[in-house]
Chain A
Amino acid sequence: MTDISHPIAGAVAGAPAAPAPRRVALKRVLGPAHVWGLGVGIVLVGEFMGWNFAVGKGGAIAALTACWLAGILYTCVAMIDSEITSTVAAAGGQYAQAKHIIGPLAAFNVGLYLVMAYTMLEVSNAIVTGDLIEAFSHNMGLVGDVDKRAFMVLTIVFLSWLNYRGVLATLTLNLVITAIAFAAIVTLFVYAQPWAPGETLKHGELLTGLPYGGLGILAAMHFGLWFYLGIEGTTQAAEEVRSPARALPLGTLTGIMTLLIAATLTWYVGTGLMPWEYLGQAVTPLYDAARLTGSAPLEIFLFFGTLFATVASANGCVNDASRAWFAMGRDRYMPVWFGAVHPTYRTPYRAIVFFAPIAILFAISTPLDQTITFSILSGLLGYTTMALSIVMFRRKWPLGSIPRGFVHPLHPLPAVLLLLLCSVTYAAVFLGYGTQLLAMMAFYIAASAWFVLHRYKYVRRGDQFTMAWPKPRGY
């Protein structure tokens, strides 16, 4: 596989059909561990915050059901994603896949889903970072007030700068801090002595059944996705991994296994330490859980674990959102100015810088549950498209017609299951957050109209298909 199939960088702006004389490509430096770090790094923060809003929507038992149902949904996502990504390994991930499999308007929408999902996740991480530092300084008895908004802004600006400077250092940092954050969850779990029920963990007295009845299970699916949202981000680095066919499926599937374990541990510890009403609205539930154990060293470890998880996640989000925006700029779905690669750092620096003000605006003025909901909704629209995409992929290029890095088993069962669980989750979001659902749909409908009526005229038709595949069946 060649480094990159399009002329990019400065050559992109107003580029003629002829290839540019010099190609500046993204660096191929990443291995399976980086892919794991990118996927889990983005998602692991979901164990430290946000998942617990599922408890608020349906109670602790409903949240566990949602955790496992969402786990099934994401297993389907990881299976489908591994097959498509190991075959269509290009920057932009699902965006590039939709471009080759479904068509331009779908690709434009998928690109926006990615950008919005990751930007809103980055915003959520910045909010939690600010809240966490404020809570920690208060709990440690530090004199004076902390303005959490300053830390929100600092997080976004620092990570944007880090991503501007280069992908290898960024994702290596992610790998290290993700491992520390995961160790914090495991340490908390062990310290809580799950083998001695009633000692530290008090499920017998704290679990209260289903406060909203069966409807609560459905409603909890909304935030159940937060346990895993972003694992599909592994595909964003497709042009930067050394061996996509091996590294992407391996990194993605081991990532989902890690998250399934972490999600169950997190639920078990959280619900064994906090009343569901508190847990259902807490901003930093695992840090709170550590406080409830009464161990100061553990509290400090979980402070750093939560901080590292949010920073790792935000870091991965800046990386992923900018890659998707960069890929759209390169293809002229967005102004070509965004399709430039930095001549020294070889990063999509304009796309990175563009999103920093948007992230800051939402971070300093929007409640956490709202930004999480926006992120979840964009992710959900992407998963729905993914289920349709794999069916089209197998129809247009049946097995054996093109080389695939990985073939997922039991097709079309994962696609059907994914579509079903996505439909359930739309209903779950509607319960309590119907306005946000419609606002998000209004955004994508308006953006689609803009693309069809205006933007698409700047897009070269044949150049959008860059894979060395035969003509798709039925065309």
Chain B
Amino acid sequence: MSRRPYEPPKQSVFGQIVDAVLMLGLVVVTLYLPLLLGLAGGGSTTTAYDNPSWETLKQNPTMAAQWEKLGFTPESAAAIIGARFDYSVSWMAFAVTALVIVVYFVAMLRWSDREYREVIAERFDDGERPSA
């Protein structure tokens, strides 16, 4: 005996607008707000140079020539050359991030499987094969 298909409630137009706005808000809060507040950004260090020259910036004559063709002087190039990423790793932060990713995938797959069984049961339990 086939089971009765799940009949979802009808969503009002207002409800649809709320849902759409909610997704927009989620994007802004989780992605845009950290950027706006300066919380996100590459972990980096900067070396300051006093009276920089191509030699003190460790640029050979070919490098210096290319910088100059691009319109740079040692003074204007120093800020770029002195910027470096900071790769000192906080193992705790690394472990937490790895855990978040693993738990996210495990939870997503398990919950999806639960929902998927429901879908398959409803689709196939009436003995009919779905048509394309």
Residues of chain A having any CB pair with chain B under 8 Å: 1-2, 5, 14, 17, 56-57, 102-107, 109, 116, 202, 205-206, 211-212, 215, 219, 273-275, 277-278, 281, 288, 291-292, 294, 332, 334-338, 354, 358, 361-362, 365-367, 369-370, 374, 384-385, 388, 426-427, 430-448, 450, 452, 454-462, 464-472, 475
Q: Is the CB of B16 within 8 A of A459?
A: no
Min CB gap A237→B, angstroms: 18
Q: Is the CB of B19 within 8 A of A334?
A: yes
Q: Given A102-B116, A366-B32, A475-B117, 5 other A-B contacts at CB below 8 A? A: A275-B63, A278-B70, A335-B11, A461-B122, A475-B124
Q: Which residue of A lies closest to B132 (CB)?
A: A468
Given A439-B30, A443-B26, check contact A102 B66 (CB 8 Å): no
Given A278-B80, A452-B111, A458-B9, check contact A430 B97 (CB 8 Å): yes
Q: Which residue of B lies closest to A370 (CB)?
A: B35
27 sampled A-B residue pairs with Cβ under 8 A: A14-B11, A103-B111, A103-B113, A106-B108, A106-B109, A106-B112, A206-B63, A273-B66, A278-B70, A278-B80, A335-B15, A335-B20, A365-B36, A430-B97, A436-B40, A438-B100, A439-B34, A440-B31, A441-B104, A442-B30, A448-B107, A455-B19, A461-B6, A461-B119, A465-B120, A468-B132, A475-B121
Bound CA span A440–B23, Å:
14
Q: Is the CB of B101 within 8 A of A441?
A: yes
CB contacts between A and B, total, < 8 Å: 221
Min CB gap A407→B, angstroms: 20
Q: Give the interface size bracket for B toward A.
A: 35 or more
Q: Is the CB of B87 within 8 A of A441?
A: no
Q: Which residues of B contact A273 (CB under 8 A)?
A: 66
Q: Which residue of A lies closest to B15 (CB)?
A: A335
Given A336-B16, A362-B32, check contact A432 B111 (CB 8 Å): no
The residue that A275 contacts in the complex, of B28, B40, B67, B113, with Cβ under 8 A, is: B67
Given A370-B35, A434-B43, check contact A292 B20 (CB 8 Å): no
Q: Is the CB of B100 within 8 A of A441?
A: yes
Encoded as 1 (CB less than 8 Å from any A CB) or 0, chain B from 110 to 132 comes to: 01111111111111100001111
Q: Is the CB of A103 within 8 A of B119?
A: yes
The residue that B66 contacts in the complex, of A212, A292, A366, with Cβ under 8 A, is: A292
Q: Which residue of B lies closest to A338 (CB)?
A: B20
Q: Is the CB of A470 within 8 A of B129?
A: yes
The residue that B41 contacts in the complex, of A354, A435, A467, A470, with Cβ under 8 A, is: A435
Bound CA span A450–B120, Å:
23
Q: Which residues of B contact A335 (CB under 8 A)?
A: 11, 15-17, 19-20
Q: Is the CB of A444 within 8 A of B24?
A: no
Bound CA span A84–B121, Å:
23
Report which residue of A337, A435, A459 has the largest number of chain B beta carbons within 10 angstroms of its beta carbon: A435
Q: Which residues of A contact B109 (CB under 8 A)?
A: 102-103, 106, 388
Q: Which residues of B contact A106 (CB under 8 A)?
A: 108-109, 112
Q: Does B93 contact A (CB under 8 A)?
A: yes
The residue that B6 contacts in the complex, of A369, A385, A454, A460, with Cβ under 8 A, is: A460
Min CB gap A10→B, angstroms: 13
Encoded as 1 (CB less than 8 Å from any A CB) or 0, chain B from 52 to 87 comes to: 000000011111001101101000010011011111
Bound CA span A361–B87, Å:
31
Q: Which residue of B lies closest to A452 (CB)?
A: B111
